[in-house]
Structures are given as C-alpha cells and as structure tokens.
Amino acid sequence: MKMKLLVIGDEKRARRYLPENPITDKVKMIVCPRDATEVELLRAGADADFILADAIAPVSRSLIERMPRLKMIHSEGVAYHAIDLEAARERGIFVCNCRGVNAGAVAEQAVLLMLGLLRNVVPGDRAVREGKQIAVKERAMVEGIRELSDCRVGLIGFGATGQATARLLSAFGCRVLYHSTHRADPDTERKCRVMWASRESVISECDIVSLHVPVTPETEKMVDAGFLEKMRPGAYLINTSRGELMDHEALRDALMNGAVAGAGLDTLYPEPVTADNPIASLPEDCPGRVLLSPHIGGITGGTFTRAHQMVWENIERIAKRKRPERIVNGL
C-alpha cells in the first residue's frame, strides 16, 4: 500500500518541482488548494502519512487530530507559524521546515528594497512617464541622493537570511550592525563583516533597519510605536520576513508624520493584502515613502527546487524509519 502525501497548496507548483527521487514513485500525492476547508482536506487525505503545506496555509489542531496515520507536517518554505506545533508534538508528529532554503533570494529582495527607497525608484519611474524627468532630476541634485555605501545598516535577526543579507551589503561597503538573541561566533562575524550591538543600538543608530526574524509570541508586532519612535530621523524600515512583525497602524502613523523616512516591505498582514490595508492605502501625499513587493522575496525557481528536494528527502528518511531534518516542534 502506497504512502500518501496531502499537499495543501498549488498543484502546478507541487508537480513542477517534483524532484528526481525514487521515493516519489512510492508515495501517492493528493493536492488541495490552500483555501480548502478542513472538511475538503479530510475528504481528500484523512489517511495521509504526510502533509506538505504552503508556508501560509493553516494546519489546525482539529485537522491534525483527525489524521490517524500522519507522521510529518512539512512547510513548503521557512515559515511554520500557521501550523499548530503543540498539537503535532503531542501526537509525536514531526513538523519540519526548509530552513535557509531561500536565504540568498530574500537577501537580494532586501537589498532591492533598500536601493529602491534610496533612489526613489517608483516616483522616478512615474515622473519620467509623466514628462517630469528634468524637474525631478534637478530636485534630486539639490536634495541629494544617499548611496547605500553611506548607510549604516542594522539587521534584527542573524539567521541564514540575515547572514546572506550582510554578505551582500559588505559588497556595497556598508557598515553593518546586527542584533540576535544568540550572538554569532567570531568567525561568522568576520566573514559577514558585521558587529553585534544591542537591539536599542541597532534601532536608534542605523540609517536602515532590516527585519530577519520569524513570527513568535515575542516578535509579533515588535515594530510598534515605541520601536518606531526610537529610529533615527530619516531612517528606513525593511521587512522581508513577515507582516505580523509590524503594527501596521503604528507604522502608518510614523510614515504619515515623517518619523520614519520610508519602508520597503515584501510582506504585509493579513494575506492576501486588500486595498484597505493601512499601509497599502496610504494617502497620495505620502509619495515614495513606501515600496511594496508582493511577498516574492523567497519564491524564486531555485528556492522551490531546493525546498521540494528537502521535503522529499525528509519523506524518504521517515519511510526508512529515520529522523527527518530541520524539526521545529521540539521532537
């Protein structure tokens, strides 16, 4: 009897990135869309051995408790906050992620957002299309354009993505500070050309503050009014992690009153983002202060190729009665 994998996500993606691994012939794959109801998921895959979940697809306690053969829940990405970790742990079900799989891709997006804000990319594009190129250019020459190399960049969080971002920034000649609960070893700091600093120093001393932490009870809405008030005048906020890290109303207020010069955001909350989101609906008198991207930092082809390879390798490990890798729920 074949083992079964319930995929909660996009079927085209699940099949496109299916790796060349013999284990795929021994597992029946059942795919349900990310917005499928729990009833639909159970109807399709109540007897599944594994779940592969889109990184923002919820996997509830109720679903977990009604799947008697379930052995592993695997995030398709790095995030796992939508999975009930405790419910899985209680039943001895592994929850795994693809830690580090998209670090380089997300780092590129973070630097893109930094450069886009410093160079006023969106307003500049609009100005050229409207025949206002010279006026914008002359104003920029008077006001000045800040180079990334002139900026002190602060990273909050220094896991795989934070380290990849630091390595890219070193090529620009930036001075990079970071704060992490667990300080990196001296060799890693030297290779990434970074200096550890307190959280308060990173927030208050840097021209750009970039978030690289997961969503946890401790980090949810960490960017609140108090955080934003500590940022130095003219500083920018970059978030390529999760929208839940930010208090959107507080950030909106800080952008409107000029307390924060701008924000480059690859993710907002909730998703999908609607037109009335506090950040997406900023008034027109805040031009260029926000640069948004549609949560694409980590969804490159290379990322998905590596991620699905990781997932199927973990399925193979369990099939061979071995422990999977990158367990996140403490088993």
| Residue 90 shares a structural domain with residue 170 | no
pLDDT beyond 70 at 287? no
Phi and psi at 235, nearest 5°, equal -85, 160
What CATH number does residue 254 fall under? 3.40.50.720
Q: Which domain holds residue 12?
A: 3-101+300-319
Residue 51 lies in a domain: yes
| Residue 26 shares a structural domain with residue 144 | no
| Residue 31 shares a structural domain with residue 89 | yes
| Residue 158 shares a structural domain with residue 188 | yes
Residue 330 lies in a domain: no
Whether the Cβ atoms of residue 300 and residue 327 lie closer than 8 Å to each other: no
Neighbours of 286 (CB within 10 A): 13
Whether the Cβ atoms of residue 24 and residue 45 lie closer than 8 Å to each other: no
| Residue 49 shares a structural domain with residue 125 | no
| Residue 287 shares a structural domain with residue 307 | no
211-231 pLDDT, tens digit each:
999 888 999 999 999 999 999
Which tokens hold the place of 120? Answer: 């006023």
Whether the Cβ atoms of residue 103 and residue 160 lie closer than 8 Å to each other: yes
| Residue 115 shares a structural domain with residue 226 | yes
| Residue 116 shares a structural domain with residue 216 | yes
Residue 325 lies in a domain: no
Residue 210 lies in a domain: yes
What whole-number distance in Å separates Cα of residue 281 and Cα of residue 105?
27
136-162 pLDDT, tens digit each:
999 999 999 999 999 999 999 999 999
| Residue 51 shares a structural domain with residue 107 | no
Q: How many CA atoms lie within 13 A of 331 on its CB side?
A: 22
pLDDT beyond 80 at 1? no
Residue 271 lies in a domain: yes
- Catalytic residue set: 242, 271, 295
What does the pLDDT average to over 64-87?
Answer: 96
Whether the Cβ atoms of residue 246 and residue 290 lie closer than 8 Å to each other: no
| Counted domains in the chain | 2
| Residue 233 shares a structural domain with residue 171 | yes
| Residue 288 shares a structural domain with residue 218 | yes
**What global pTM score does this model have?**
0.87
| Residue 114 shares a structural domain with residue 240 | yes
